[in-house]
Amino acid sequence: KIGNNINSKSISNKIKFGFAGRISKHKGIELLLDVFSKLNYNGIELLIAGTGEQKYYNNLRNKYKNKENIKFMGFVKSENFYKLIDVIIVPSLWNEAFGRVIIEAMSYGIPVIGSSRGGIPEVIIDGENGFLFDPDKKDDLKLSINKFIKNKENYMKISTNCLKRVKDFILEKMLDEYEKFINEIYNGYNR
């Protein structure tokens, strides 16, 4: 299914950013909400798909309920969610081993803004299929969001690059790479 979802996307007049996954502190949701709530642009929206510990989730919803450009959607099937958004943001504060949501989004031609933690930088090629930011730098996430807001003309190229990049993560290709790696080790050991 990866890589077969759509060709590439074009960005709409109203840029819809998205967050998908578990609503928890270590996923960087508070950083994202704080930055997004302070952006003063018409024509942008943040859609949040996912659930978490109920009290925490409700506290966040209540805190941002007056922000018309932030919408909490609860659980949404990924294929339905990706049809609604233009860019996904993965603001993880911890070292994620591998962000599956990144690969899913890219398979729909959706660029990713991701934190420079864990395995995320191994998937996102900064400036080509999305943008990386350092969650410890005050305005770094804001700067990455602005790159999409102020450079809509680059969106189609970045979207196409997502589809190219995601092909590196198709199971058959990954298995071929593992087999090649194992053979190199085996052949080196038996010399």
Concatenating the DSSP letter of every residue in 23-75 gives: --GGGTHHHHHHHHHT---TTEEEEEE----HHHHHHHHHHTTT-TTEEEEES
Among the ranges given (32-41, 111-120, 174-183), the one the predictor scored with the smallest mean pLDDT: 174-183
Tokens matching residue 18: 């998205």
State the pLDDT at residue 47.
98
Rg (CA), the chain: 18
- How remote is the C-alpha of 72 from its chain's centroid? 17
On the question of pLDDT at 31 being above 80, the answer is yes
Helix (H/G/I), strand (E/B), else coil: 16: strand
**What pLDDT, on a 0 to 100 scale, did the predictor assign at position 151?**
80
Pair of tokens at residue 7: 């060709």
- CA nearest neighbour of 60 among 71, 69, 45, 68: 71
Residue 40 pLDDT? 82
**Predicted local confidence at residue 2, as pLDDT:** 46
Q: How far is CA 19 from CA 85, 87, 90, 121, 184, in A?
A: 9, 9, 7, 18, 40
DSSP, residue by residue, 92-143: -SS--S--HHHHHHHHTT--EEEESSTTHHHH--BTTTEEEE-TTSTTHHHH
- Among all chains, which residue has been given the structure tokens 């018309």? 68
pLDDT, mean of residues 33-48? 92
Number of residues written out for the chain: 191
Tell me if residue 191 falls in helix, strand or coil. Answer: coil
